[in-house]
Structure 1
Amino acid sequence: MHISVVYILIFISSYIIGSIPFSWIVTKLKTGNDLREIGSGNVGGRNVYRATKSTPWAVFAGFLDTSRSLTAMALPYFLSLNFYFTNPEYISVWPYDRLACFALALSGIGAILGHNWPIYLLSSGGKGITVVIASMALANPILLGFWVLLWPIIITIIGYSSITYIVVTFLVGVIALFLPSVMLMSWAQCNLGLALLLFGITIIMLSRQGDNFRKIRSGEAKKMNILKVFRGKSKLSDEALK
């Protein structure tokens, strides 16, 4: 099997696994309703909360989506590395770090395309947040730490969650470019690969934000006020829906 075929299989399998719409399934089982016809129409954890009025169910759906995204990236990625090391003829032609970079980027892009445009629903799906979390958790948990630290800072400045997710993911991609080698995981020794993955995810996330940007321009969108949560003047669940 040629290495290019392996890359194609990585992308396809990541897309198929990433397409499993757990948020839609959870809502259907819990309420009998189609999540795409409720609230924002987004097939994601926040909209599950709107549909079920239940934080545990929304968290459960988010957990399943994140686990699915992690599997969609990890399974094809590690299988490709297994193929690489069991086929010595490629070792002298394709350096390990090059294969790892391409495999990681392809699996991540495939996973977010599956999440955002799931083949099983034949329509739009989520916005890609769970894939961002899963990609950083797999590639380098240190990046996830930076993402978590930056998010409350940027949301306080910007106020709009849809823009915040995109800005923070882009900034973490920039950080990934400058991570010292000692901070890279053994299975992802490639700063550029990590950065390109996050930049690619950022672009795909942007493509799903048209409705949110229109609401912001028209004044319909509401800003999150995370400081109210810390001061006890608002619930996190209420602010998260904005």
Structure 2
Amino acid sequence: MITLNTFPDIIVLTVAYLFGSIPSGLLVSWLSDLPDPRTMGSGNIGTTNMLRLGDKKAALLTLTIDVLKGSFAVVFALIFMPALAQWAGIVAVIGHIWPLWLMFKGGKGVATSFGVLLMLNWILTLACFGTWTTFAIMTRYSSLASLITFLLSSFYALFVSGESLVITCLILTALIFWTHRHNIDRLRKGKEPKIGDPTSPPTTKR
């Protein structure tokens, strides 16, 4: 574990949080002259809800930026404080979920988590991406694919990197399950929208 007892530690983690806090989906919707994603579909600013707005390019751009946020946070830490790299990634995901600029109401952290893992271990990322893609195609539920992927990520980490990434994956999994708690409830009730379903006004629970 780390002890934050130096000013550089605080700076690195603060920068990581600010990277994560960039509201990608909202910025892309403004630049693309699209409706505010918070007023449509799930009300989320992430890639899946951007796709529901009907603009694949905007969704892809949102996905790219969200992934890069996590990657940049890890790279920044690797350059200045390598020992904090994994924690910087976790903090970036926290920033994405609870962004400073949107009153701490952000996305669900999946794409940013992928960006974090990409910089920490590309083999682990490839395994997770393959899992997500497989279950997304099979079920057409983005949320379910994400939950299964991160549930398995710690096992993947144990095989490809030993114990070094297991704790990071467990923390990311806990965050993903928390942000998807309402999705889990809708999945249980059979009310979760599938990938490609038409958009609708947001529910109160995202």
1:135 to 116, 119, 125: 116
Q: Measured at CA, do residues 138 and 200 of structure 1 come closer, stay the same or move farther in structure 2, by a change above 3 Å?
A: same
> After superposition, what is the alpha-carbon deviation per residue over 1:44-93, rounded to whole angstroms, capped at 9, x for unaligned?
11212223x21112111211221122112211332113xxxxxxxxxxxx
2:11 to 3, 9, 12: 9
Q: In 2, distance between residues paired with 1:240 and 1:59?
A: 18
Look up the equivalent residue of 2:156 and give its one-letter code. Answer: I
Q: Measured at CA, do residues 4 and 140 of structure 1 come closer, stay the same or move farther in structure 2, by a change above 3 Å?
A: same
Q: In 2, distance between residues paired with 1:211 and 1:199?
A: 20
Aligned residues of 1:147 and 1:168 also touching (Cα < 8 A): yes
Classify the secondary structure of the residue corresponding to 2:173: helix
Q: How does 1:161-180 map to 2 (within 5 A)?
A: 161-179=142-160
Identity between Structure 1 and Structure 2 (%): 25
**Who is 2:40 aligned against?**
38
TM-score, structure 2 length as denominator?
A: 0.83
Aligned residues of 1:14 and 1:110 also touching (Cα < 8 A): yes
Alignment length, in residue pairs? Answer: 196
Structure 2 residue runs of 5 or longer lacking an equivalent are 200-206
Look up the equivalent residue of 1:67 and give its one-letter code. Answer: L
> After superposition, what is the alpha-carbon deviation per residue over 1:174-233, rounded to whole angstroms, capped at 9, x for unaligned?
121222xxxx5xxxxxx3331111111110111111221222233212456xxxxxxxxx
Q: Which runs of 4+ in 1 moved over 6 A?
A: none
Look up the equivalent residue of 2:117 and give its one-letter code. Answer: M
Classify the secondary structure of the residue corresponding to 2:100: coil
**Who is 2:96 aligned against?**
115
Look up the equivalent residue of 1:11 and give its one-letter code. Answer: L
Q: In 2, distance between residues paired with 1:104 and 1:144?
A: 16
TM-score, structure 1 length as denominator?
A: 0.72
Aligned residues of 1:28 and 1:35 also touching (Cα < 8 A): no
Q: In 1, distance between residues paired with 2:134 and 2:52?
A: 26
**Who is 1:220 aligned against?**
191
**Who is 1:210 aligned against?**
181
Q: Measured at CA, do residues 168 and 56 of structure 1 come closer, stay the same or move farther in structure 2, by a change above 3 Å?
A: same
Look up the equivalent residue of 1:41 and give its one-letter code. Answer: G
Q: In 2, distance between residues paired with 1:33 and 1:240?
A: 14
The answer to which of 109-118 and 153-162 deviates more is: 153-162
**Who is 1:125 aligned against?**
106
**Who is 2:61 aligned against?**
60
> After superposition, what is the alpha-carbon deviation per residue over 1:145-174, rounded to whole angstroms, capped at 9, x for unaligned?
111222244446766331321221231221
The answer to which of 212-221 and 124-133 deviates more is: 212-221
Q: Measured at CA, do residues 130 and 152 of structure 1 come closer, stay the same or move farther in structure 2, by a change above 3 Å?
A: closer
Classify the secondary structure of the residue corresponding to 1:31: coil
Q: In 2, distance between residues paired with 1:60 and 1:153?
A: 22
Classify the secondary structure of the residue corresponding to 2:101: coil
1:193 aligns with 2:156: no
**Who is 1:231 aligned against?**
none
**Who is 1:47 aligned against?**
49
Computing the radius of gyration from Cα coordinates, the structure with the larger value is: 1
Q: Measured at CA, do residues 221 and 32 of structure 1 come closer, stay the same or move farther in structure 2, by a change above 3 Å?
A: closer
**Who is 1:95 aligned against?**
none
